Amino acid sequence: MSRKSIGLLILMSFLACARPSIKHDPVDKACFQAISIKFNFSDSQGKQNGRVHWRFDANHAKFIFFTPLNQVALELDVAGESALLLRPGKRLYWKGDFSDLLGRLWGIDLTMDELKQIIIKGLIPETKIKEKGMVILLQTSTEDHSPQMVNIRRNDVDLTLKILKREIRPGTIVLLDYSRRFQAADLEDVLTDD
């Protein structure tokens, strides 16, 4: 036999032994969205900027706020419109309404669902923003028309959310019970950075 024939036989034997790859579709097709956002905020009291990683599914949402050194500063867990704000470094938490927290943090009055509709679909609640004296401007992607940048203004408040990355992942968002490991505190205590 020639060398070519022997080489061909060896190659065919390796290919015969190779296992085909089998792709399994998950039984439960649950998935969640993950979005990385850079925010810039300014009002009469000063400026803030940072990065937020937001994961959400149909029932729950989790926001992770990072420090400039890429450490977790705050975690915000949301079920419906109920918010649980955690400061892991101090082991403190605050429970309350999402729109109250957003009003305290950034001076804007939006529910979780309204914020989600703006950032995901670019749907602006026109009646509400007129009543509250807000202006919302969007820059959208030319490919899928999803918002790439959201600018929200109200009085002296200017908040810009720049969407850096979007992806869909398999699984669901699970919110943990922190009441035994963290201490309840006022919102100001949780937000204050010592």
Walk me through the domains of the chain, giving residue ranges and CATH numbers.
25-191 (2.50.20.10)
In angstroms, rounded to a whole number, what is the distance separating the alpha carbons of residues 43 and 108?
11
**pLDDT category of residue 22 using cuts at 50, 70 and 90:** very low
pLDDT tens for 117-137 read 999 999 999 999 999 899 999
Residue with the larger pLDDT of the pair 82 and 27: 82
Per-residue pLDDT band at 141 (split at 50, 70, 90): confident
Name the residue type at position 134: M
Contact 122, 128 (CB under 8 A): no
Instruction: Point out which residues pair with 56 in neighbouring strands.
Output: 33, 61
Report the 10 Å Cβ neighbour count for 192.
12
The amino acid at 30: A
pLDDT digits (tens, 9 = 90+) for 94-122: 999 999 999 998 989 999 999 999 999 99
**Residue 13 binned pLDDT confidence (cut-offs 50, 70, 90):** low
Which pLDDT tens digit goes with each residue over 36-88? 999 999 999 899 899 999 999 999 999 999 988 889 999 999 999 999 999 99
- As a whole number of angstroms, the distance between CA 93 and CA 159 comes to 25
